[in-house]
Amino acid sequence: MIYSLRRTAFLFLILSTLLLGGSTFAQEKPAPAEQEKPAEGGTEDLAKAAQNPVASLISVPLQNNTGFGVGSFDRNQNVLNIQPVIPVRISENWNLINRIITPIILQPNVNQKSQGTFGLGDINPTFFFSPAKPGKLIWGVGSTFVIPTATATQLGQGKFSMGPGVVLLTTPGHWVIGMLINNVWSVAGSGSRRDVNQMLLQWFVNYNMKKGWYITTSPIVTADWEQTNGGRWVVPFGGRVGRMSMRTTPATAQTSSRMRSC
């Protein structure tokens, strides 16, 4: 296996991932000092907020996707997506939601039984404008970009791309159901690399149960519209089970949460 670690930024991302320990962290508003145990509904509300990509809540989800049977030697590809969501209140009625997908990729050499490339892929930031006081249908609309940050040719497109993005979701009962979709076109980059016209669709379904437990699925589907000889669609599947817990610290009168999944 050939490891390509060229940039300081990539080393920083690896260190951040290890520190996060595969967890998602969320922070709520201060709770009353006399509160000792949060209500069950508070745990579910916090879980819903952590599962909402346009919520007024900072979170750092991690998603790992493994592709099997890649190339003529049936190799495996692995992509770890670090997806921090950082909301910013820009007015009384609007929030700006910053969502940045940073992929760490293990790409096999499809023409060999061994060896491959490991490194940082192209970073995909998206900026959504979303109502600060949403109704039953929660939405956000904005722009998305693909920045050619890949540490090796095999790990990125070599183009700067941009396009529109939309997110829609609803939270009936114990459910959080929605989808995020965008499409990008290349506008600059290496002339030796082919043009980019690519869609990303992430649908997500979460069901929140008692005592903070939840089940969820949120695969990232991509469509490369430039492909004409097969391989246009990548449609992964999978899910996870996790638990949201809340803890009140009397000294700081602050409620914090930690969400683990597997």
Both structure tokens of 189: 């980059």
For residue 43, is it within any domain?
yes
What integer pLDDT is reported at residue 229 of this predicted model?
78
Is 255 a domain residue?
no
Residue 60 domain-assigned (yes or no)? yes
Would you write out the chain's pLDDT as a tens digit for each of its 262 residues? 333 334 434 444 444 433 333 333 344 344 343 333 444 567 888 888 888 888 888 989 888 888 888 888 899 999 999 999 999 999 999 999 999 999 999 999 988 888 999 999 999 999 999 999 989 999 999 999 999 999 999 999 999 999 999 999 999 999 999 999 999 999 999 899 999 999 999 999 999 998 889 999 998 899 999 998 777 998 888 888 988 876 654 543 343 334 444 4
**CA dist list (Å): 82 to 18, 22, 133, 230:** 12, 10, 27, 28
Identify each DSSP E strand in the chain by its residue range. Answer: 2-3, 23-27, 62-70, 75-82, 85-89, 94-108, 116-120, 124-131, 137-146, 159-170, 175-189, 197-208, 213-217, 220-224, 233-234, 240-249, 254-261
Residues 6+ positions from 96 with CB-CB distance below 8 Å: 87, 88, 90, 127, 128, 129, 130
Give the separation between CA 169 and CA 149, rounded to whole angstroms.
30
Looking up residue 188, the CATH number of its domain turns out to be: 2.40.128
Distance from first CA to last CA of the chain, Å, rounded?
A: 27
Q: Is residue 257 part of a domain?
A: no
Residue with tokens 């997110």, as numbered in its chain: 167
In DSSP terms, which residues pair with 90 in a beta bridge? none
Q: Is residue 262 part of a domain?
A: no
Domain residues for the domain of 6 are 2-245
pLDDT confidence of residue 257: 39
The pLDDT of residue 33? 39
Residues 94, 117 contacting (CB under 8 angstroms): no
In a domain, 259, yes or no: no
Q: Is residue 258 part of a domain?
A: no
pLDDT of residue 247: 63
Number of domains the chain is built from: 1
Predicted model pTM: 0.75
